[in-house]
Amino acid sequence: MILWLNPATGLSGDMLLGALLGLGAPLERVRSAIESTGLREWSLDAERVQVDGIAATRAVVTTDDDAPERHAAELIELASRARPEPVAQLAVSALEAIARVEGQLHDRDPAEVHLHEVGGLDTIVDTVGVAAALHELSVTAVHAAPIALGSGTVRCAHGVLPAPAPATLRLLEGAAVVGADLAGETVTPTGAALVAAMGTRFTPPPAMTLGATAYGAGTKRFPQRPNVLSASLGSSHTGSETMVVVECNVDDVTGESLGHVVERLLDAGAADAWTSPATMKKSRPAHVLHVLCTPGVEAELTEIVVAETGTLGTRRHEVQRTALPRRTTTVSVRGHRIRVKHGPHRSKPEHDDVAAAAKALGLPLRTVTEMALDEARG
């Protein structure tokens, strides 16, 4: 999926997270990714608000945190524990960028940097939350309009500084920006770091089939301008994208191990992974392990295949995948949350959610499926 952002009043980590939750990223799955870091005493909720007449989603983040500063390495260590693995990679990339920039500004080794305004545990919720939401929405490319920069001054631990703050400007190097008649900070260091970590390309809306649009609410209010971040999802205009299939033949790997490696590959960012039976030399029964992925994660997934199976080699070939536009919503069936995936021709509740609800309610699977679909239609 393609994500296009319009940061007309700037952006922050919580605005981006709110917009992604508004697009349908399942809140419980995002919470689960944050919880996997081991972070304690925190909460994340999505609140529907009106911002100057625009319905938006506000990410409400709270933490039990009174530390005035925190070592950057501590935040990076927490983020590195996030699961699935692509979530950790993106969150760590954003935090490492902040540490690197702070190190440059204060002439210190990034490993020794102490963070002030972005040293709070809410930064973990924002960065891991955004990474998890992107993963859940299957976002493979991010595009954005120029980012609006405010003016004036901003107060921080180092005193009163010009806005945008020096760290923010360093993090925005290479980004497209535009001046705005807005006083104060419109872009936070966390927001700027996430823009870089996502590999954002600054272009007009790319050719795509437009899907859902949502707005992430900021906390500031500007006169005659709604402080919201517009985010739109879309699929490739042609519906076709280049993917890679990595394969290997194995005749000495147990079924338990193959099941494990398939699950690990999916957690690490594979679009799909499966096995098929085969007969190898000497008429040995065997399996072919197949992994479908984007070129960006091919190397990492190949390493997992080699490490888990012990194969002496893999092969790969490019394929064209047609991906229709899709979105995910969440409904409640007698108090149980069930994700529902919507495509152009049908809607389908997630089996794992339906199975868990059916077991808890003592109802047949088919009954709960129909109840979820009725809620989704409503």
Residues 76 and 157 in one domain: yes
pLDDT at 67: 64
Tokens of 249: 């033949």
243 three-state secondary structure: strand
Residues 366 and 232 in one domain: no
DSSP state of 288: E
**Across 10-19, 21-30, 161-170, 217-226, least confident range:** 161-170
Tell me the pLDDT band of 328, cut-offs 50, 70 and 90: confident
Tokens of 335: 């108090």
Residue 370 has pLDDT above 70, yes or no: yes
Tokens of 376: 């989704």
Q: What is the mean pLDDT of residues 37-64?
A: 92
Residues 364 and 309 in one domain: no
Residues composing the chain: 378
Residue 110 has pLDDT above 80, yes or no: no
Tell me the pLDDT band of 309, cut-offs 50, 70 and 90: very high
Tell me the pLDDT band of 111, cut-offs 50, 70 and 90: low
Residues 173 and 232 in one domain: yes
56 three-state secondary structure: strand
Distance, in Å, from the CA atom of 157 to the CA atom of 115, rounded to the nearest integer, reads 10
Residues 190 and 66 in one domain: yes
pLDDT at 156: 63
CATH of the domain at 300: 3.30.70.1380
Residues 159 and 246 in one domain: no
Alpha carbon separation from 79 to 22, 161, 237 (Å, rounded): 23, 29, 34
User: Looking at 285, 304, 322, which one is the last position of a domain?
Assistant: 322
Q: What is the pLDDT of residues 168-226, one digit of tens each?
A: 888 998 889 998 888 788 899 999 999 999 989 898 888 788 999 999 999 888 887 89
Residues 363 and 219 in one domain: no
Q: Which residues contact 313 (CB under 8 A, 6 or more apart)?
A: 248
User: Looking at 236, 266, 298, which one is the last position of a domain?
Assistant: 236
55 three-state secondary structure: strand
Residue 66 has pLDDT above 70, yes or no: no
Tell me the pLDDT band of 321, cut-offs 50, 70 and 90: confident
Q: Which of 287, 285, 263 is nearest to 275 (CA)?
A: 287
pLDDT at 53: 87
User: Looking at 236, 256, 277, which one is the last position of a domain?
Assistant: 236
Tell me the pLDDT band of 68, cut-offs 50, 70 and 90: low
What's the gap between Cα 327 and its chain centre? 14
Residues 43 and 181 in one domain: yes
Q: Are 10 and 147 within 8 A, CB to CB?
A: yes
What's the gap between Cα 205 and its chain centre? 20
Residue 373 has pLDDT above 70, yes or no: yes
Residues 165 and 188 in one domain: yes
Tokens of 83: 């699961």
Distance, in Å, from the CA atom of 201 to the CA atom of 147, rounded to the nearest integer, reads 12
Q: What is the pTM of this model?
A: 0.64
Domain count, the chain: 3
Tell me the pLDDT band of 330, cut-offs 50, 70 and 90: confident
pLDDT at 193: 93
One-letter amino acid identity for 128?
V
Q: Are 154 and 184 within 8 A, CB to CB?
A: yes
The mean predicted confidence, pLDDT, of the chain is 88
Residues 62 and 139 in one domain: yes
Residues 111 and 162 in one domain: yes
**Residue 324: enclosing H or E segment and its boundaries?**
none
Q: What percent of the chain has pLDDT over 70?
A: 92
Q: What is the mean pLDDT of residues 340-345?
A: 85
* Structural domain range at position 303: 240-322
Q: What are the respective helix, strand and coil percentages of the chain, to the nearest 5?
A: 35, 35, 30
Tell me the pLDDT band of 255, cut-offs 50, 70 and 90: very high
Residue 62 has pLDDT above 60, yes or no: yes
pLDDT at 185: 85
Residues 210 and 82 in one domain: yes
Tell me the pLDDT band of 49, cut-offs 50, 70 and 90: very high
Cα angle 142, 146, 149; round to 5: 125
**Rounded to a whole number, what is the distance in angstroms from the first to the last CA of the chain?**
26
